[in-house]
Structure 1
Amino acid sequence: MKEIERLLLKGGELSSIINSIEFVEGKLDLRGLDLKTKTICKLKVCDADFSFSMFNDCWVEKSLFERCYFEKVDFSSFSDHGNIFKECVFNNCKFNGAVVGYDGTKFLECEFIQCNFTKAIFIRPEFVDVFFKNSRIKSLDFNASSFEECDFEGQLNDIWFRGGFPLKSDNKEFGTPKKNEMKNVSFVNAELHDLTFSDHCNLLNVEINTSGKYYKFDRWSERLLLMKESISN
């Protein structure tokens, strides 16, 4: 196990040493790794199972994780910098206090199932075709995160979606984010409480539950102006 951890910290493509790693259900058996407080850079891992591992206080930068499985992994205070997660599943993982999306990390075709994002900080991650299912998403500011073809299921409470950074100085500090167009984002199976949308966040293609509990309005500025005129008269 220590040898595997050493190779991970070295970076590079992990497939070069797969002969020394066992497989479990078709994936490299990387379960139970202790990577807390470590720095990982330019690592490439495909088809691996990281379940029950510890990434807390870990810095991961410019790495690729493809078709990887993370179950009950501790990402608390995790620092994520310019990585790509493709076709990965995060099941019952802890992201408490994690910082997600420095340098525009991409999450492509991923699933977050029953994950805990308490006190997580989002910079400018890009989520494309991502499924959030029954995760603890409460009292979060997604900041300059962008969402495309994403699906939310379960409760969302006190969440802030933005079209980009709220301050121009943020672009200088963190880089220019991908514009959040919320393209084909679905809240059909979500319970929404106290959501905020701002900074030119486009809701044109957002789907909501049609049960009559939620409503979506267009031309909001025009409607407010008409309401103001109606009250004045």
Structure 2
Amino acid sequence: MPDTSQDPPVEDQRFFRDDWYGEEITGRHYTRCEFHEVDLSEAVTRNSTFTDCVFGNVRFNASRHADSAFTGCAFKRCNFFDAEFTGCKLVGATFRECELRPLRVTGGDWSFAGLAGADLRSAAFHGVRMREADFTGANCADAVFADVDLSGAMLHAVKLSRADLRGSDLSSLDPVNAELAAAIVSPEQAAVLVTSLGLRVRA
């Protein structure tokens, strides 16, 4: 289990099958560390930073993260079932073969995040900055993107059926190359999508 009584930076260490279930990780700093098969289920991170770390087969089930950073981190085959991120920074983080349902994100910066092909059905993003994030081929059906900055995001072949997109920047969305059946948008967003189709709206 991690020692949270002090917060010396930890660099270039490898953690294998550590049991951090339910741990409270506050003010910790990890750089270029590797975490493999670590159990972080129901763990809580606060004001902690993980920089250029690798997470493989890590369980984040029902974990809670507040004002923490996972910048440039790589997640592979990790489970985020019922995980929650509030005010966190995941700039440049990549997710491969991860279980991301149901994921809840409020605030924070996920710009340049790699979510290509991710299964984000019913995930909820509120007030998140996701500039130039990669959602290529991601399944976001029934998801919520409320007031999300998606400017410059890669949205080719993204599935947004029945998704609630109100308040989000959809300037990078090509409705011809996305699934939008029954998606919910505001009148202003509808005008943006119509314009992207080359149409002009006149009263």
Question: Normalization by structure 1: what TM-score?
Answer: 0.66
Aligned-residue RMSD, C-alpha: 2.7
Q: Does 1:62 pair with 2:33?
A: no
Shift of 1:213: 4.0
1:150-199 deviation digits (Å, cap 9, x = unpaired): 11133111111121xxxxxxxxxxxxxxxx3311101114232212111x
Task: Give me the identity figure in percent.
Answer: 22
What is the rounded CA distance, in whole Å, between the counterparts of 1:89 and 1:134 in structure 2? Answer: 14
Structure with greater proportional helix content:
1
Judged with a 3 Å threshold, the aligned counterparts in structure 2 of structure 1 residues 40 and 157 are, in CA distance, closer, same or farther, namely: farther
Judged with a 3 Å threshold, the aligned counterparts in structure 2 of structure 1 residues 220 and 107 are, in CA distance, closer, same or farther, namely: same
| AA partner of residue 99 (structure 2) | R
What is the rounded CA distance, in whole Å, between the counterparts of 1:89 and 1:99 in structure 2? Answer: 19
What is the rounded CA distance, in whole Å, between the counterparts of 2:25 and 2:6 in structure 1? Answer: 6
Corresponding residue for residue 54 of structure 2: 89
The one of 78, 81, 86 equivalent to 1:118 is 81
What is the rounded CA distance, in whole Å, between the counterparts of 1:47 and 1:63 in structure 2? Answer: 14
Q: Does 1:108 pair with 2:71?
A: yes
Corresponding residue for residue 206 of structure 1: 153
Shift of 1:224: 5.2
Aligned to 1:137, the other structure's residue is in SS state coil
Count of residues in Structure 1 that have an aligned counterpart in Structure 2: 172
What is the rounded CA distance, in whole Å, between the counterparts of 2:34 and 2:132 in structure 1? Answer: 26
- Cα pair 1:41 1:61 within 8 Å, conserved: no
What is the rounded CA distance, in whole Å, between the counterparts of 2:17 and 2:26 in structure 1? Answer: 21
Corresponding residue for residue 122 of structure 2: 158
Question: Normalization by structure 2: what TM-score?
Answer: 0.75
Unpaired runs of 5+ in structure 2? 159-176, 195-202
What is the rounded CA distance, in whole Å, between the counterparts of 1:109 and 1:189 in structure 2? Answer: 21
Unpaired runs of 5+ in structure 1? 1-34, 164-179, 228-232
Shift of 1:223: 5.5
Corresponding residue for residue 10 of structure 1: none
Kindly report structure 1 stretches of 4+ aligned residues shifted beyond 6 Å: none
Aligned to 1:155, the other structure's residue is in SS state coil
The one of 174, 182, 185 equivalent to 2:133 is 185
| AA partner of residue 41 (structure 2) | S
